[in-house]
Amino acid sequence: MPKKLPHFFSLRLFLVVFFAVALAIFLYFVFPTLVATTYERGVSLEGNASSLTEIFPVPWKATHLPNPAPTKALYMTSYVAGNKEIRAKLVELADTTEINTLVIDIKDYSGYVSFKVEDPTLIKIGSSKWRIPDVKEFIQELHGKNIYVIGRVAVFQDPLMVTKRPDLAVKRASDQTLVWEDYKGISWIDPGSVEYWDYMVSLGKEAYRVGFDELNFDYIRFPSDGNMTDIFYPSSDGRVKREVLADFFAYLHDHLKPTGVALSADLFGMTTTNTDDLNIGQVLEDALPYFDFIDPMVYPSHYPPTFMGFANPAVKPYEVVKYSMEQAVSRASTTPFKLRPWLQDFDLGADYTPEMVRAQIQATYDVGLTSWMLWNARNVYTGEALDK
């Protein structure tokens, strides 16, 4: 006859079962949100997806799309992106035309970040305004339609940060305790501030975490449209402007590329035809090594009178874009595929017709490029100019 197990073994088994059941009941009733959370689908004994296979939820993780080749994009403000009814019109335009990419503001000229952030550094700064409260869901919706999503950052235009860190701001030369403002009343961060570069890196990582496929950096330059005789740069003083920006480009690349995110840079249109830095620090060759895409803003209306001999370059969209991008292709040497111009789809200098918008696209193709992006600050685009 086998020996009977001591009585305390039966008692121990009973206690283990009792406390396991009690713990399960406790978790269910005290933390009901654990059960209400969306769980990763598991497999039941019958092989079907079960509604609850784990006690704890699987952390949310963004998906990302590779860059479409070619890229054909529209710009969208954060206000529009946060309005389901208005943004649906642009999504429909992408659904029904050749558009396959949307460029959405992450941080505009105000300095505010357009979505809720989780990075402690960003939270401490307090720049998040949640203009796009459902940013994760919206990006996932776009990804479901195979629409590539680019996040745009207006970098050194940042009045909000200036109010929080005036020591990083561009100042007046006549009184270095006063913040300098451009003619629009916008204050700037000194492009040489490495501390602010770290802020841009943190913001870039946060944007990639919520699902943006690419980071597009705009206003990566020194200011130019204010009283330039009364301006002082506390961080860049004594340094060559183009060298400051080249260091910034390298810093972004070194700190953000390891995440896997694509990087792009918006450059002033005349960087394609001028070899100097235009007194804003931007030189095409300085940016090319550090970004996946270079986006010259070759809006015909932004060129000065007499450019190419035209009294009004705005009425010559094909000629201006073709000449400007020809020069860029020549200078890009072995990497012309990085070039992806911003084109004009707004009325300035002329009333832009579908034919004028399409002429810029054709000019892009005629210099051997395949990607382009359309800009309209009001987000009203000329659908007739797009292939269905």
Residue 42: domain span: 7-50
Q: If pLDDT is split at 50, 70 and 90, which confidence band does 59 have?
A: confident
User: Is there a single domain that holds both residue 42 and residue 113?
Assistant: no
In a domain, 98, yes or no: yes
- Return the sign of the alpha-carbon dihedral for residues 107, 70, 385, 268: positive
Cα(189)–Cα(171) distance, rounded to whole angstroms?
9
Query: Is 66 within the bounds of a domain?
Result: no
Q: How far apart are CA 277 and CA 268, in angstroms?
A: 10
Q: Record the pTM.
A: 0.85
What are 311's two structure tokens? 């009294």
Query: Do 82 and 159 sit in the same domain of this protein?
Result: yes
Q: Is residue 321 part of a domain?
A: yes
pLDDT at 40 exceeding the cut of 80: no
Residue 119: inside a domain = yes
Q: Is residue 119 located within the same domain as residue 15?
A: no
| Predicted pLDDT of residue 225 | 93
Q: Are 18 and 109 members of one domain?
A: no
**One-letter amino acid for residue 359 of the chain:** A
Q: Is residue 377 part of a domain?
A: yes
Of 29 and 64, more confident: 64
Query: At 300, which CATH number?
Result: 3.20.20.80
Query: Residue 135 has what pLDDT?
Result: 97
**320 and 220 in a common domain:** yes
Residues β-bridged to residue 318: none
Return the closest-CA partner of residue 87 out of 100, 76, 72, 99.
76
56 in a structural domain: no
CA-CA distances (angstroms) from residue 69 to 74, 140, 219, 369?
15, 20, 26, 11
CB atoms within 10 A of CB 219: 22
pLDDT reading at 17 higher than 80: no
User: Do 326 and 339 contact (CB within 8 A), yes or no?
Assistant: no
Backbone angles phi, psi at 216, to 5 degrees: -110, 115
Res 55: pLDDT? 52
CA 341, CA 371: separation in Å to the nearest integer? Answer: 7
Number of domains forming the structure of the chain: 2
Q: Are residues 251 and 352 in the same domain?
A: yes
Q: What is the 3-state secondary structure (H, E, C) of 48-94?
A: CEECCCCCCCCCCCCCCCCCCCCCEEEEECHHHHCCHHHHHHHHHHH
Tens digit of each residue's pLDDT (9 = 90 or more) over 276-310: 999 999 999 999 999 999 999 999 999 999 899 99
pLDDT, position 50: 43
Predicted pLDDT of residue 128? 87
Pick from 342, 344, 215: which is nearest to 272 by CA?
342
Q: Are residues 45 and 104 in the same domain?
A: no
Whole-number Å distance between alpha carbons of 116 and 128: 6
pLDDT for residue 46 is more than 50: no
Is the alpha carbon torsion for 50, 55, 60, 66 positive or negative?
negative
The larger pLDDT score, comparing residue 37 to residue 116, is at 116
**Helices 317-332 and 354-366, packing angle to 10 deg:** 20
Q: Coil, strand or helix: which one is 268?
A: strand
Which H helix or E strand runs over 358?
helix 354-366
Q: Does residue 44 register a pLDDT over 90?
A: no
Residues 150 and 16 in one domain: no
271 and 136 part of one domain = yes
Is residue 282 in some structural domain?
yes
Do both 38 and 176 map to the same domain? no
What six digits make up the tokens of 219?
């206003």
Residues 22 and 118 in one domain: no
| Helical (H) or strand (E) element with 20 | helix 7-30
pLDDT tens for residues 92-103? 999 999 999 999
Instruction: Grade residue 80 by pLDDT with cuts at 50, 70 and 90.
Output: very high
Q: Nearest-CA neighbor of 277 among 236, 230, 322?
A: 236
Q: Note the pLDDT tens digit of each residue in 194-245.
A: 999 999 999 999 999 999 999 999 999 999 999 999 999 999 999 999 999 9
Reduce the DSSP state of residue 126 to 3 states and report it: coil
Which is more confident, 13 or 215?
215
The pLDDT of residue 58 is 63
The answer to whether residues 321 and 363 touch, using CB atoms and an 8 Å cutoff, is: yes
Q: Is the residue at 215 inside a domain?
A: yes
Residues 252 and 363 in one domain: yes
Q: Report the alpha-carbon angle 166-169-172, nearest 5.
A: 105
Q: Note the pLDDT tens digit of each residue in 335-377.
A: 999 999 999 999 999 999 999 999 999 999 999 999 999 999 9
